[in-house]
Amino acid sequence: DGGITQSPKYLFRKEGQNVTLSCEQNLNHDAMYWYRQDPGQGLRLIYYSQIVNDFQKGDIAEGYSVSREKKESFPLTVTSAQKNPTAFYLCASSRGFGWNTEAFFGQGTRLTVV
């Protein structure tokens, strides 16, 4: 089945620790995205990548880092510099860019600081 796989589903982080969230897609999509969702708020864009080995900051990139070494993979690292990392993180992909480009989402990773 084609789709986007995020792992783990739940992640716990200690203060001062870096953690990495995995996102893999087998849809052969060029573009991939990371969003953060907080209760009562819309999704906010952290980083996005249009092609391999290239990525751009979104609206809330501070305290996060990404890489895009393979078309299928777009991992997100939440660093210790992110002061409020507890949130639901969603990865998405799309075929490319155009009027009918549709975004598809993974099932999310819930990160909690303990």
Partner 1 sequence: KQEVTQIPAALSVPEGENLVLNCSFTDSAIYNLQWFRQDPGKGLTSLLLIQSSQREQTSGRLNASLDKSSGRSTLYIAASQPGDSATYLCAVADSDYKLSFGAGTTVTVRA
Q: Cβ closer to partner 1: 35 or 74?
A: 35
Q: Cβ closer to partner 1: 84 or 100?
A: 100
Reduce the secondary structure of the chain to three states and give it as a string. CCCEEEECCEEEECCCCCEEEEEEECCCCCEEEEEEECCCCCCEEEEEEEECCEEEECCCCCCEEECCCECCECCEEECCCCCCCCEEEEEEEECCCCCCCCEEECCCEEEEEC
Q: Which of 15, 16, 97, 114 binds partner 1 (CB under 8 A)?
A: 97
Tell me how many residues contact partner 1 (CB under 8 A).
31
Q: Which of 2, 14, 15, 42 binds partner 1 (CB under 8 A)?
A: 42
Q: Is position 101 an interface residue for partner 1 (rule: CB under 8 A)?
A: yes
Q: Is position 87 an interface residue for partner 1 (rule: CB under 8 A)?
A: no
Is the peptide bond preceding residue 8 cis, with omega within 30 degrees of 0? yes
Q: Is position 61 an interface residue for partner 1 (rule: CB under 8 A)?
A: no
The residues binding partner 1 (CB under 8 A) are 4, 6, 31, 33, 35, 40-45, 48, 50, 58, 88, 90, 92, 94, 97-108, 110
